[in-house]
Amino acid sequence: MKKPRSSAWRRFALGLPYAWLLAFFLVPFVIVLKISLSQTAIAQPPYTPVLDPIAGWQGLKAFYGALSLDNYRLLAFDPLYLLSYVKSIEIAAFSTLLLLAIGFPIAYAIARTPRRWQAVLVLLTVLPFWTSLLIRIYSWMNILQREGPLNELLMALHLVNEPPAWLATDTAIFIGVVYSYLPFMVLPLYATLEKLDESLLEAAADLGCPRWKIFWLVMLPLSSSGMLAGVLLCFIPIVGEFVIPDLLGGSQSPMIGQTIWMEFFGNRDWPVASAVAVVLVCLLVTPIIIYQHQAMRVVEQE
């Protein structure tokens, strides 16, 4: 490998996307942080305090002194926000477990089919992901409505006497989340299971290890990196999910994505919405860093 030379082309190829991400990914976060520390003013920019660059050090001091933690105090003392965070994390944790339980057998089955089928099965798993989340959730609204196909089926099979209400329940949220995120769980699991050396499983079986123990002692540890990737890839975005709970869930206890949306579009309280978002990022920062670490390691290995 030649020593990389610095050229105009290299500076351009690196500089342009770098500048773009700084401007449209990093700087916006700093602005959110700043506005979350502003006094509440209903959709009325500019939010005080405004940093005056001409005033120099004095200006900076005045700016710093005027920042307030009022919005965060509101979050801490109003149970609405606390409940919202707790509910989001509960839903995300439980549905990630469900996804793992459902995704593992599917990923394993794909990894065990003949090679030429695998590519097709992987494509079939990913395909629904590329149709809009909105549409996929809407299709569940069709199915889960009171006189919908699911209830008709249940009634026809005499499993229920009364058509149960599915919409506006947490069950509907779980169904929607599991449905929408299944490809994100199956793909990383498949990627590790596909590389899994089958002779290890056979060796364990030959030595008289019962099947459940092979699964527990050999297969799970060997597929842990794929499980971690799948869990993070699902858990992090589910916590902030908006469309699924909004269309399928009830209105009495919103998830945190809905709370941000409501503060923003309903109450027009942008500083509080920003504070809610900052706390959410803080909650997610650890899983995000683990995820990035994992993703980069995979890429460097290639």
Asked if 55 is part of the footprint of another protein (rule: CB under 8 A), the reply reads no
Which of 75, 187, 193, 284 touches another protein (CB under 8 A)?
Answer: 284
Compute the distance between CA of residue 68 and CA of residue 274 in angstroms, rounded to an integer.
13
Smaller CB distance to another protein: residue 211 or 213? Answer: 211
Which of 75, 133, 231, 248 touches another protein (CB under 8 A)?
Answer: 133
Which of 93, 143, 165, 222 touches another protein (CB under 8 A)?
Answer: 143
Q: Which of 57-65, 69-77, 218-226, 289-297 is the region at the interface with another protein (rule: CB under 8 A)? A: 289-297
Smaller CB distance to another protein: residue 206 or 302? Answer: 302
Q: Is 249 exposed, middle or buried (0-12, 13-18, 19+ CB in 10 A)?
A: buried
Asked if 45 is part of the footprint of another protein (rule: CB under 8 A), the reply reads yes
Smaller CB distance to another protein: residue 182 or 218? Answer: 182
Asked if 200 is part of the footprint of another protein (rule: CB under 8 A), the reply reads no
Asked if 295 is part of the footprint of another protein (rule: CB under 8 A), the reply reads yes
Asked if 125 is part of the footprint of another protein (rule: CB under 8 A), the reply reads yes
What residues from 59 to 88 belong to the interface with another protein (CB under 8 A)? none
Asked if 124 is part of the footprint of another protein (rule: CB under 8 A), the reply reads yes
Smaller CB distance to another protein: residue 214 or 280? Answer: 280
What single letter denotes the amino acid at residue 43?
A: A
Q: Which of 54-62, 66-74, 93-101, 136-144 is the region at the interface with another protein (rule: CB under 8 A)? A: 136-144
Two structure tokens written together for 157: 């099979």
End-to-end CA distance of the chain: 16
Smaller CB distance to another protein: residue 43 or 54? Answer: 43
Smaller CB distance to another protein: residue 48 or 142? Answer: 142
What residues from 216 to 245 belong to the interface with another protein (CB under 8 A)? 232-233, 236-237, 239-243
Asked if 148 is part of the footprint of another protein (rule: CB under 8 A), the reply reads yes
Compute the distance between CA of residue 249 and CA of residue 216 in angstroms, rounded to an integer.
35
What residues from 250 to 279 belong to the interface with another protein (CB under 8 A)? 257, 260-261, 264-265, 270, 273-274, 277
- The mark string for 2-41 relative to another protein (x by CB under 8 A, - otherwise) is x-xx-xxxx-xxx-xxx-xxx-xxxxxx-xx--x------
Asked if 191 is part of the footprint of another protein (rule: CB under 8 A), the reply reads no
Asked if 46 is part of the footprint of another protein (rule: CB under 8 A), the reply reads yes
Number of residues that bind another protein (CB under 8 A): 96
What DSSP string runs through the chain?
-PPPPP-HHHHHHHHHHHHHHIIIIIHHHHHHHHHHTSPP-TT-SSPSS---GGGHHHHHHHHHHH---HHHHHHHH-HHHHHHHHHHHHHHHHHHHHHHHHHHHHHHHHHHS-HHHHHHHHHHHHHHHHS-HHHHHHHHHHHHSTTSHHHHHHHHTTS-SSPPP-TTSHHHHHHHHHHHHHHHHHHHHHHHHHH--HHHHHHHHHTT--HHHHIIIIIHHHTHHHHHHHHHHHHHHHHT--HHHHHHS-SSS--HHHHHHIIIIIS--HHHHHHHHHHHHHHHHHHHHHHHHHHHHHHHH-
Residue 61 C-beta: closest distance to another protein, Å: 22
